[in-house]
A and B are shown apart, each in its own frame.
Chain A
């Protein structure tokens, strides 16, 4: 029998799953929650038919302890906090006033119905019983709302109001339910006036207490994650553990547990996200989503299954119909009344269509069901009728309203949410607007919402963030920076996607890879001719012309070196429960990925600008020429084209020695392993400064490049010979010929990626010398781009700085650099000095002007 049952179950499941998967049409029309409930009904029916009794039930204990918390945590944690607080007034009104209104009106109306004789006399219930029923049936259910509204895609404001209401009304529901329940148990005759007062007082205690518990745990959580740098592996666990602890604590203290978890998620997110590693972030996100959707699935299935058990409920048509009509009617009435009041205070009033959707979106769900199951049959004789009514109400709202809300939203032409990619401009201007509004409120002398938000942000910046965030994590939470970072990642990834074949670069026009037949065009003379304006045709430039061929050879040499992968190395097998290290394969993949990424990014910049350029100012030029990255990018961005050659040719090579690598390998375990995408190019400064290897190297310690040996030509290059003492110059930007204005773009994306990807160190770096590239001193045309140092991340080792280079312009921001440069290592820099065994060393093709 049992086996039979099991098989039936499995068959049914697979069949349904197949149906779900096969017909997208079904799922696009019918919300998943409906399908799940129906599936649950079918399953329950089968079980009932086979076993003659209902085996499974939605147990209130299971529901409140295990199924509900993940869903609430998920919704609290991923709540768009800005939107939430922008609409907090409306949300609170609907959650508190609306729920109270619904509970009392529904309860009273049902009682009236009974008095009028429309409810069968066998339903033995007094006013208090009906009020109790009203209190549990009136609350909009977060699970149901989330399940349905996520698929409807109404505009954000509408969504956050309905959804926020469903989350926050929990406190009211819990209080009302408990108060009514105790009144019923005491018997209506024994209730005194003070009890009512207590009920009101407990509303505040429960809601505020729940929120306070949540915030305390949010604080603890944020503070704890601040110190998990060495135990990254427990970060996700901490998040779940503390959030759940908040839930249990609130539940134990009879406070609103849902509110506690919501506030915990809402409050901690900003700090936790900044503190925990990238991988932990991903883990938290997906675990949370998975848990929530699992719980949701189980809840709806169990709802369907439990409904089949007819021994639990008793039907009364008058009660069921009356309840259905009343909850719809009073919900609508309540929404209209409250919206009318709210619109007096709202900047953007909620219009009629919004109100319709809000009324119609008041879905009831598993919370109501679990509460009604919890009722005591001896105290509430009409429990069975209430159970039946609740089931019908839940099914009606989830299935009928859930099915029809999508067409309704379409038909009413409710403003849908539109997803557009964030742009830096929008982000920046939005911040500007916020500050402007705060300032204007100051000027007007009205301390409104913007004023307080501004205040809060200042407080947060000054104290909270200092306390709860790692020093190194500040940047990540800056939203402008964040958008910038994400944009760069997106560009990079889209380029990998576009690229297809990685090494066959023939079809690609990469600035770093002049194709064989275009070598002639890249020659310096050609460049000069191309660039047209002779603005910087000074003698020194002409000097370099002579060696243009050498230069190209060297470029090719390093290009080939860079293009080849280093033979596989063996890695230490590290096996630990608490530290994850990438396996060799992963590293290898990364290595390949990084190489490609690097190239793509370079080419991306040029192509992007090309498009811009041609769009705005079509220039008669052979397309063949356009392939020539150097010449092309030189004209980028419509900037004045009188760049000298010395700007366009900066070939920088990196050599990383084996020893460096070894060290990185051995110390790997204690380092962070949290970089998702690591881009290879690191600024010179970083490499020079770090005794401890930078984050990118830690994660991917295999060299991305074969240490190129200098070509003969390089060794004897005329511009080298003059400045032997300047020879040591490291950059990981291997074999690049990137023209200056392209370099700006290149560096810009690179440095952002690398600086985020590499774990910043906590201590202030001990190094003293980190002037940015003192460009002004050596370039006559520097004033052309006064604020832009195209290679700002380049720096010189101390010895170089002393070697007569001027860094006057940079000395001013030197302290700041030290403070802020998170990429610097802090251990030692002994082996950085040129000439030691494990030195980085590099050759720079100096610019013509210095010859």
Chain B
């Protein structure tokens, strides 16, 4: 235990990070370890290239977008609090998270925030809406080569139409949430080890 706490001391602002993200001490230590392993030249931050070095991300169809999501607002680097903040979206929802007092800000791993994370992967131009074009791009990444472009477009059309309620030809975040009403997002967007 002693080694752990001494390890935790290495992390700057460990307490405020914990408050914000809800990660346990052990998770934070593990993540910090990982963070430093990814940080090649001990810069203290991760650059885009550092993230791109992660092998399997290269073959992940959404890899680029996920890397992008780590780098806020077009900056080319992410520090440890930022890194952890993104990962906090995937912390499983626990019982104590549900009965929070309303004064506190919504935890990062709430259903809404989980969905919002996914939403902004679609919404490339950050206008709060998934346009047909954006939907098509995602579909192209996901579906693979066996479906022709034309059919992809048809699928994209239909997908947008299906979720689109106000008829503006795009999916807003509200509509996005509604289309996933029945899905157990808390389960599908959580990773167990990120407690």
Contact = CB atoms under 8 A, between A and B. Distances in A.
Nearest to A822: B148
Given A428-B142, A484-B158, A347 B192 contact: yes
Given A432-B118, A487-B158, A755-B151, A443 B183 contact: no
B51 interface: yes
B112 interface: no
**Interface residue SS majority, chain A:** helix
B147 A478 contact: yes
A440 B66 contact: yes
Contact of A443 (B54, B92, B118, B149): B54
A639 B161 CA distance: 12
B89 to A, nearest CB: 8
B155 A637 contact: no
A744 B132 CA distance: 13
Interface in B140-154: 142-151, 153-154
B159 A428 contact: yes
Nearest to A458: B59
A568 interface: no
A748 B61 CA distance: 25
Interface stretch (B4-12, B13-21, B164-172): B164-172
A185 interface: no
A256 B63 CA distance: 42
Contacts of B182: 418, 420, 426
Contact of A348 (B149, B171, B187): B187
B31 interface: yes
A565 to B, nearest CB: 30
B142 to A, nearest CB: 5
A481 B151 contact: yes
B76 interface: no
B193 A439 contact: no
B157 interface: yes
Interface string B122-136: 100000000011001
A191 B38 CA distance: 57
A89 B179 CA distance: 31
A639 B132 CA distance: 12
A438 interface: yes
Interface size bucket, A side?
35 or more
Contacts of A639: 169
Given A433-B188, A745-B157, A813-B149, A347 B60 contact: no
A788 interface: yes
Interface residues of B, number: 68
Nearest to A423: B162
A430 B159 CA distance: 13
Contact of A346 (B31, B60, B192): B192
B179 A440 contact: no
A792 B159 contact: no
B149 A793 contact: no
A475 B167 contact: no
Given A347-B92, A752-B151, A820 B145 contact: yes
Given A346-B192, A747-B154, A813-B149, A436 B162 contact: no
A474 interface: yes
A478 B183 contact: no
Contacts of B143: 478, 480-481
Contacts of A637: 161, 167, 169
Given A429-B183, A435-B61, A437-B189, A480 B150 contact: no
B187 A443 contact: no
Interface stretch (A367-375, A444-452, A664-672): A444-452
Contacts, number: 193
Contacts of B187: 347-348
A617 interface: yes
A546 B70 CA distance: 60
Nearest to B135: A428
Nearest to A451: B56
Contacts of B162: 423-425
Contacts of B34: 443-445
- Quick one: which of B59, B87, B148, B189 has the most chain A CB within 10 A? B148
A356 B156 CA distance: 44
Given A426-B180, A788-B153, A432 B142 contact: yes
Contacts of B189: 433, 436-437
B69 to A, nearest CB: 9
A816 interface: yes
B122 to A, nearest CB: 8
Contacts of A789: 150, 153
Given A432-B138, A448-B192, A481-B143, A638 B167 contact: yes
Contact of B167 (A481, A617, A786): A617
Interface in A339-393: 345-348
Contact of B154 (A428, A446, A751): A751
Given A432-B142, A444-B34, A637-B167, A454 B56 contact: yes
A478 B139 CA distance: 12
Given A436-B189, A448-B191, A425 B163 contact: yes
A440 B169 contact: no
Given A751-B154, A787-B132, A820 B56 contact: no
B9 to A, nearest CB: 22
B153 A478 contact: no
A617 B164 CA distance: 13
Interface string B110-123: 00000001100110
A561 B149 CA distance: 33
B166 A616 contact: yes
Contacts of B166: 616, 638
A442 B54 contact: yes
B57 interface: yes
A821 interface: yes
Interface in B32-87: 34, 37-38, 51, 54-57, 59-63, 66, 70, 87
Nearest to A755: B151
A432 B169 CA distance: 21
Contact of B60 (A438, A444, A448, A820): A438
Nearest to B90: A440
Interface in A398-456: 418, 420, 423-426, 428-433, 435-446, 448, 450-451, 454-455
Contact of A444 (B157, B179, B193): B193
A838 interface: no
Contacts of A439: 56-57, 60, 62-63, 66
B192 A425 contact: no
A612 interface: yes
A430 B60 CA distance: 15
A437 B193 CA distance: 12
27 contacts: A347-B187, A347-B191, A348-B187, A426-B182, A428-B139, A429-B118, A431-B142, A432-B121, A433-B185, A433-B188, A435-B60, A435-B142, A436-B189, A438-B56, A438-B60, A439-B62, A439-B63, A442-B54, A444-B31, A461-B144, A478-B147, A481-B151, A612-B161, A612-B165, A616-B167, A638-B166, A749-B154
Instruction: State the 7 A-B residue pairs at the shortest beta-carbon distance, nearest first.
Output: A748-B154, A638-B167, A474-B146, A792-B150, A425-B179, A616-B167, A424-B159
